[in-house]
Structure 1
Amino acid sequence: MSLPSDQPYSHETVLLHETVEAVDVGSGVYVDGTFGRGGHSRLLLSRLDADARLIVFDKDPLAIATANELAAEDSRVTVVQRGFAELSSVLKQAGLMGQVSGILLDLGVSSPQLDDAERGFSFRADGPLDMRMNPESGESAAQWIARVSEKELADVLFQYGDERFSRRIARAIVTARQKQPIERTLQLAEIIKTAHPKWDHKKHPATKSFQAIRIAVNGELDELDAVLSASVGALKPGGRLAVISFHSLEDRAVKQFIKLQAKGPELPPGLPVRDEDIHVTMKAVGKAIKASAEEVAVNVRSRSAVLRVAEKLSR
């Protein structure tokens, strides 16, 4: 897919064919909740009927610029510069709740965002400590780090990054910010590296902490919970939800959501309820799908990707 002329960063779409095939039935309304650079959307459009409709969401201004180019080429495309957590409100306003044939979510950060040091996601290249999916809105990572308490920071590093040395790193960050503001990515990465007593030398010691801070700054898990809940009401019977996750927190949330929808709410043992009275909304479609060895060889970032698919039931 082409990028704007002033955007030198490329993006390899992960699990491209597997994801599109999971939701592709040809006609109706579809949603790409994470447009990125449009890899999934373009392939999906190539398979949809002429009267189909594709609504694409993204917060990132550069992604929106690319999405607007696609909309200019294809009248089936509607562009929404919002996070996918607002799926329900957008569809309600358009009168499309319960009419969606497919919802596609490719979670995490795109390659252009990671590779552009000015976005502040990278611990390998110096740039402003931003990390916002939409740099024009909300609180930057630098602003968050400047105000967060040591306890909350340690909790975020542990819960969102699975960082064993979260307390030690949090203490080091709080101590460092008392001397001078932490405003650059390499500045933060060096503080974490110095504080970290032990790490896998194949992985940068700031990897988990940067992931955790990014998740906190963007409210990613809360947004994921919101869009998963909204998907039940948005999809029509037989409609598909396809979600690509890149770390265990995301994948666990998706897996548990699908399991709950397929099983129904937990009820007290011995409660006299018939199976047909249990509110089951979805079923899992197949098993979790991971990138092939061939894809990982071409795009190393696909190695942690997990695709899960669910289908809306008629009852």
Structure 2
Amino acid sequence: MVGKDVQVDGILTSGCPEVLAATPGRLLDLLGLGALTLASVSFLVLDEADKMLQLGFEDQLDAIAKAIRRDRQCLLFSATFPLRLRQAADRWLTSKDKVVIRVGAVDIGGAEEGEEAAEQGDARIEAASGSRSSELASTLTVSKSIEQIVHVCAEHKRFRKLIRFMDKIRQEEKDQGVRQRALVIVFCNTIKTLKAVASFLGKHKHPCAPLHSGIPQAKRERALSEFKAGSLQLLIATDVAARGLHVKHLRYVINYDFPPNLEQYCHRIGRTGRDGESGTAMSFFTRNMAPLSRDLVLLLERSGQKVDQHLRALAEGKDGQPAGSDEDSHEEAGAEIPAAKMQEPAEE
């Protein structure tokens, strides 16, 4: 394990490990000091590759790739495959034969075939919405085990709608005699909003715990442990929980704030619907997010999901709520924010 706290002497005296896990910067430091060589490395594995590019590690990763022999095997793990990552992959993947594995599908063939499959997803987006930044020119995939519900609403109505949705979940559990309550994560974009949402839920008899970067690590780990154990069923989080968090039997993800881009949306809702289980993702979509509506509609349609009529109207450049309509009328009947079918979690 190579990190900032690992001393060079420890690396030099540990012999020749078969697997080396490292951060890019620290690994390059050790290479520069001559503490190790990558000349005999056969496999290069990059986890959360898209995130590392976002954090500015592209130059470091290029340098590491150049330090490893070209007949290596390279594996990239990423929940999304944005254009920038595909361009970098062309440099890092030295073999002509590439395998692209997506949720529910495997594409095997030459470089041209893999790129063509990725480009087809981009072409559908670009044809519908015209030019856009490379951040949004992505091939996005969401597991079909996740029911996606995107509800267009005014910002000031989200508190009430959130409570209504939570009340519906808990009432259905009570009616069905479910012993273990479903686990729920509510995502917010800022710590300030998170605190307000957590306070509001607590006052309405939905006990919860916050999870954000301003909380000491020990307290965050304790909240996560309680959440995974089921003693805590409701977690209010920022995007600190959007990646790398795997919680069994997590049934619901709620986007109180819709994320700033669709890649982050996929990361967030991907916390549910794992290990063959079904999940539900409820997202409140306010009209200030209208620039994302076209791509979001395409993503929902590609995943076989129903599209809210007001969201489709926004995507078509309309107001999003026809004059004289009541966006809450069909919600009151239970059609707009259905709760997923309750199932008691399997025994461990």
Which protein is bigger by CA-based radius of gyration?
2
With structure 1 as the length reference, what TM-score do the two structures score?
0.29
With structure 2 as the length reference, what TM-score do the two structures score?
0.27
Which has more helix, going by share of residues?
1
